[in-house]
Chain A
């Protein structure tokens, strides 16, 4: 069965620090990859998505993610975080040809002002 692993459950950073959140998935076929963000008290919103082409994907608010097929990874990065980035971040995988989205357990990011 497909699964998604996010190894960092809680991350605390100071403003302006660089961020990298790990995401690994288990599936040998073609996948579509997503990062969603959930701000406190709100619903999940799409940050960025990868379907094909350039493995370096840029999303909203300065976030980017790199798809490394050989490592089954899709890590999220941001060069300089802001206090407003405090949120929970979810990696998700959808097997190409289906609509079954599987989410990781999430990473809670706290940015200290």
Chain B
């Protein structure tokens, strides 16, 4: 079990640029989540998918953010255009469609927008 894999680990970009974060969930997991972690707001749920379909995107901050899951083994979170206030650690997590299955987190992507 390789765990949830995120790339890149670190991303530094200039304001206005497009940023794409990537996630590979654990094989067989039915749910995939994107979270954003900041000092001020803690861990915020941005969006989650079930069987590649977005279920709840109410946490996506604004239209600059978009997420896709084209297949069961890959998801992207895109920010276009990026702004300094988007600087945060972005975590991807996955879980099984079973009542007692916990979330499994990736190592996160630390995004810095200058």
- Cβ B45 vs Cβ A43 within 8 A: no
The verdict on A101 contacting B33 (CB below 8 Å), with A46-B102, A49-B102 known, is yes
**What residues of chain A lie closer than 8 Å to B55, measured between beta carbons?**
99
Which residue of B has the minimal Cβ distance to A41? B107
**What residues of chain B lie closer than 8 Å to A102, measured between beta carbons?**
45
- Cβ B43 vs Cβ A90 within 8 A: yes
- Cβ A44 vs Cβ B45 within 8 A: no
B95 at the interface (CB under 8 A from A): yes
* Interface bits B43-60 vs A (CB < 8 Å: 1, else 0): 111001010000110000
- Cβ A103 vs Cβ B43 within 8 A: yes
* Interface bits B24-36 vs A (CB < 8 Å: 1, else 0): 0000000101010
**Residues of B within 8 Å of A, CB-based: how many?**
25
A100 at the interface (CB under 8 A from B): yes
- Cβ A99 vs Cβ B50 within 8 A: yes
The SS class assigned to the B binding surface is strand
A34 at the interface (CB under 8 A from B): yes
Give the docked Cα–Cα distance between A43 and B108 (Å). Answer: 7
B42 at the interface (CB under 8 A from A): yes
A105 at the interface (CB under 8 A from B): yes
**What residues of chain A lie closer than 8 Å to B42, measured between beta carbons?**
90, 103-106
* Interface bits B62-101 vs A (CB < 8 Å: 1, else 0): 0000000000000000000000000000010101010110
Question: B residues engaging A (CB < 8 A)?
Answer: 4, 31, 33, 35, 41-45, 48, 50, 55-56, 91, 93, 95, 97, 99-100, 102-103, 105-108
